[in-house]
A and B are shown apart, each in its own frame.
Chain A
Amino acid sequence: MLTGLAVEKLGACFGQKQVLNGISMTIGPNLVTAIIGPSGCGKSTLIRCLNRLHETVPGARQSGRVLLDGQDISQMDPVQVRRTIGMVFQKPNPFPSMSIYDNVAAGLRLNGVRKRHRLDEYVEKSLRMGALWEEVADRLDKPGISLSGGQQQRLCIARAIAIEPKVLLMDEPCSALDPVSTGKIEELIQELKKALTIVIVTHNMQQAARVSDYTGFLLLGELIEFDETPKLFTNPRDKRTEDYITGRFG
């Protein structure tokens, strides 16, 4: 089944500080939705609200609703929400005490996959989907942190997709990577799109234009514009969007 998200009047604060305000958008199934905006405008906060990681920060609060296939995620079990909506972080964060294999298997094991041959199967499949299999097939028992930065990030992607989430959130997944690794991950996103719904936060407007179907422009916690990517980049409705994509500020 295809899974989409709907965000309704979402607001978020850290303590007294309001960082998101009245965000509403629809994230269509099997599409890539990009979120762009200047540093500190609340992009990370927005996608962390989508899998309820925002609420784990002490003092964090939120208002409004996020609907997963019509169901309010705040009424669902957070563990189930995160099981369904995977996430890849800005900085690669493999578990340092685990091997490459165990990193990918971590989520599977949590979900009760114990049989070795089943694990093998899933690990290989996820690493292939993560475009990492060829590079690590002969050293699956090496520590995950022994890989290069780009490989680590693809490892984290493989770890996230191993449990077959329906939505994948990516918070600036390429910001710490070189152009070659970035290219690999962008290709990967096109592949993954066939199976998942993807939300990607990026600083890089070319990247947003390349990989996404829809783009939202966030400024100071407000969603200024949300539209089909080609339209937003060629013919923005709002002056501020235009200024931002033409590099006049931010």
Chain B
Amino acid sequence: MSSSEAFPASGVPPRAGGTNVADRLFKGTTLLFALSVVAIMVLMAGAMLRTALPAIRAFGWHFPFTSTWDPVAERFGALPFIYGTLVSSLLALSIAVPLSLGGAIFLVELAPHWLAQPIAFLIDLLASIPSVVYGLWGIFVLAPWLRTTVQPALGALLGVLPLFQGPAYGVGMLAAGMILAIMVIPFISGVSREVLMAVPNSQREAALALGATKWEAIRTAVLPYSRSGIIGAIILGLGRALGETMAVTMVIGNRPEIALSLFAPGYTMASVIANEFAEATSDFHLAALIEIGLLLFGVTILVNGLARLLVWSVAGNGAATVRE
């Protein structure tokens, strides 16, 4: 049916170049659409740079290192937000990395299939729950629990450390770190699982045949083989954590101050944009917010680029063959 339709088109004589005109047109069109992805990225950087320009001009290098944020006086410094973003993300990673790696090792290396399958499914489900729902749960379940149970206990136990001092609000850096941890676990765990599964069985068997226990085979054969991929997975998780917005905005307390205690409220780059952008008081305020967005953009590009290179080098994909 379709071949009879197609037949006349094949009557087009091939050109001297050896390709059919229609074929070249088709290839050109698809190329155009593919390149629009590149165009979007360039445009994104350009458009943000242009709108942020007033702020960049006014504050220069001081912007990321100043801690005043005063829209009324039009004095802007991003330090508290950068600090909040970094601390909450690192806190999240320190919780999420051991859990997701341990979980991935269990699922890929140790668990029987019938158990690994449903658990992996549930972890993947975690990834599809929207950020705002995590935030809702954070406000009404996690934060109260932290306030009434966890923070008093931590304060009593480790109160000598400045990290665990001060009043228990519930909302704050600790809540943000925990919610972020829950949210990045599916990513780190998912990519790690892929990387572990990419380790050839012959490596495991080589170790087992030497009389290694299961754990020793993992330690001597599997983990070294997948090291760079796992580091990539962690960095990918970091990228997620840095840019995560809604859930953090809802539980971090939104106060642009730098406090050592994890109990204290904080603010992140993404949340200040979420909270102030729609109601920015002036173009200058907007420019400052966009500059924060630009910083966030730059950092995530770096982080993701790095992670991608690492994961590609192990798990391999379409692009890996091109790079050789």
Contact = CB atoms under 8 A, between A and B. Distances in A.
The judgment on whether A and B are partners is: yes
A33 interface: no
A93 B206 contact: yes
Interface stretch (A2-10, A78-86, A215-223): A78-86
Contacts of A106: 207, 210, 220
Interface residues of A, number: 28
B210 A107 contact: yes
A79 B132 CA distance: 49
B199 to A, nearest CB: 10
A87 B203 CA distance: 13
B224 A97 contact: yes
B242 to A, nearest CB: 30
Contact of B206 (A58, A59, A89): A89
Interface string A204-228: 0000000000000000000000000
Interface in A160-176: 160, 163
A158 B218 CA distance: 21
Contact of B220 (A51, A84, A110): A110
Nearest to A86: B209
A80 B224 contact: no
A156 B203 CA distance: 12
A59 B204 CA distance: 17
Contacts of B163: none
A91 interface: yes
Given A96-B225, A97-B225, A97-B227, A89 B202 contact: yes
Interface residues of B, number: 21
B120 interface: no
A84 B113 CA distance: 29
A17 to B, nearest CB: 17
Contacts of A107: 210-212
A89 B206 CA distance: 8
Interface centre among B202, B205, B210 (most CB of A within 10 A): B210
A160 B209 contact: yes
Nearest to A109: B220
B206 to A, nearest CB: 5
A233 interface: no
A56 interface: yes
Nearest to B204: A56
Nearest to B211: A83
A159 interface: yes
Given A58-B112, A95-B224, A96-B225, A79 B212 contact: yes
Contacts of B204: 56
A80 B209 CA distance: 10
A107 B211 CA distance: 7
A87 B220 CA distance: 17
A89 B203 CA distance: 10
Contacts of A91: 202
Interface of B: 112-113, 200, 202-213, 216, 220-221, 224-225, 227
11 contacts: A82-B209, A83-B211, A84-B211, A91-B202, A93-B206, A95-B203, A107-B211, A107-B212, A110-B210, A110-B212, A110-B216
Given A84-B211, A86-B209, A89-B206, 10 more contacts: A58-B112, A82-B210, A82-B212, A89-B202, A93-B200, A95-B224, A98-B224, A107-B212, A111-B211, A159-B206
